[in-house]
Amino acid sequence: MSVNTVGGLELLPSSADPVPLRAPDPERPLFFLHIPRTGGFTLKTMLEQFYGSRHSLLDLHKYDNTVIDPTDFEFIEGHVSFRKGRKMGGAPNLFTIVRDPVSRSVSVARHLRHRSTRERHDILKATNVKPETILDEVPDLANGQVKQLSDRLPSKDAGPENLDKAMAVLDWCSFGLTEDYHTSVTLMSERFGLRLPRFGVSNASAEHGDDDLRSPEFRALLHERNDLDRKLVDHSRALFAQRVTQYMDTLRAMSLDTAGVTGRLMSGRYRGWEELNRKTTDTEVNLRGWLLVNGRPPDAVLAEAGAGWVPLLSRQVSSDASWSTRTAVNLYAGMQGTVPLAPDAKELTVEAYDRIAGVKATKTVPIRRR
């Protein structure tokens, strides 16, 4: 069975990709349409590390893209409109992330206050300014996600027609949610055949400071002024949930042979497959570690603990896996994610897939409450 690639990366022979648009074009780069303050800095850093600096073009918005040949790169990122992203990478190769509008706009306001050199943002640096005045003078803080996805300048107003266009982009293209980051990266990896480095959150706003921009009054006004973004994100959450379910259902319906699973499972300070110790008040289990299915890294991992199946991020770098097995190809056996935990759950079940080998392994771990 032949294996496709995008930018030299493996696309699985039996894809569970839920995006309705046609498969990515291997002759064009992966394009990350970066909506500001959605966790995109973490993602672009991760993808640059994977593709390599020589094959990546970051911050496209800082360049004259009319003289750039996108085929010179395997990965491109930038704060640009959908139109420019489609031109550079093509809609099938595009990925974006959306975020709760109020949280995102607070983060944008704080970022502009400390980083922007544009005159129209100076009001954010002033003191004793009414929230209404800030929003009137800085339209970037209102419906910014709808604007970017509908090719509307951030300094302009947006209307229902822009919302319709933005929703259509998400309906057809690959996207993720900041609030469900690991699952978002999992679906992106499935579509584009990615193997990813370990990562943590970077470039996040400080927990303290800018009290006026984090105040209930300012957040309430942002809620009001981001009515289109709220509708867009509500739409995206429902659609994302459908895609996650479709991804898992497709995997679980595959006819695969049974295999064995080995590896190292970690949750907090607990390691191993013998037992998971959880507090009676715990509602989720945070997992990390590495898995091998018949001695090979899995290409997908699902788990459940009485509250429904969820995808875990797999094909992630784990030097522990390669060193422990003394096998270099096991470097990408890493996995991590969060599993919802039912109050009466007695065990955690993990399913690991190797679709290239045509096998699936299942493992259960007893849960002891304390």
**Pairwise CA distance, residues 138 & 109, whole Å:** 9
According to DSSP, the residues that pair with 6 across neighbouring strands are: 9
Distance CA 131, CA 136 (A): 9
257-369, CATH topology level: Immunoglobulin-like (2.60.40)
Q: Find the mean pLDDT for residues 213-224.
A: 95
The token pair at 269 is: 């300070």
Q: Which of 12-21, 281-290, 310-319, 333-342 has the lowest mean pLDDT?
A: 12-21
CATH tag, 4-250:
3.40.50
> Is a pLDDT exceeding 50 seen at residue 75?
yes
Query: How many Cα atoms occupy the beta-carbon half-sphere of 134 within 13 Å?
Result: 26
Whether the per-residue pLDDT at 2 is higher than 70: the answer is: no
- pTM of model > 0.85: yes
Partners of residue 302 on adjacent β-strands: 311, 351
Residue 213 · residue 109 · CB < 8 Å: yes
**CA 238, chain centre distance (Å):** 16
Q: Where in the chain is the domain with CATH 3.40.50?
A: 4-250
Amino acid found at 252 = R
Confidence band of 65 (pLDDT split at 50, 70, 90): confident
Measure Cα distances from 200 to 42, 55, 165, 204, 218 in Å. 7, 23, 32, 11, 29
Q: How far apart are CA 133 and CA 138, in angstroms?
A: 8
- The one-letter amino acid code at 22 reads R
Rounded to the nearest angstrom, the gap between the alpha carbon of residue 353 and the centroid of all alpha carbons in its chain is 21
Residue 5's pLDDT is what?
46
Residues 180 and 99: their CA atoms lie apart, in Å, by 10
- Per-residue pLDDT at 11 exceeds 80: no
Reduce the DSSP state of residue 76 to 3 states and report it.
Answer: strand
pLDDT digits (tens, 9 = 90+) for 149-187: 999 988 899 999 999 999 999 999 999 999 999 999 999
User: Rounded CA gap, 175 and 198, in Å?
Assistant: 20
- Of 195, 197, 325, nearest in space to 263 by CA: 325
Residue with tokens 């209404």: 132
Give the number of residues written for the chain: 370
CB 123 within 8 Å of CB 53: no
Domain boundaries for CATH 2.60.40 within the chain: 257-369
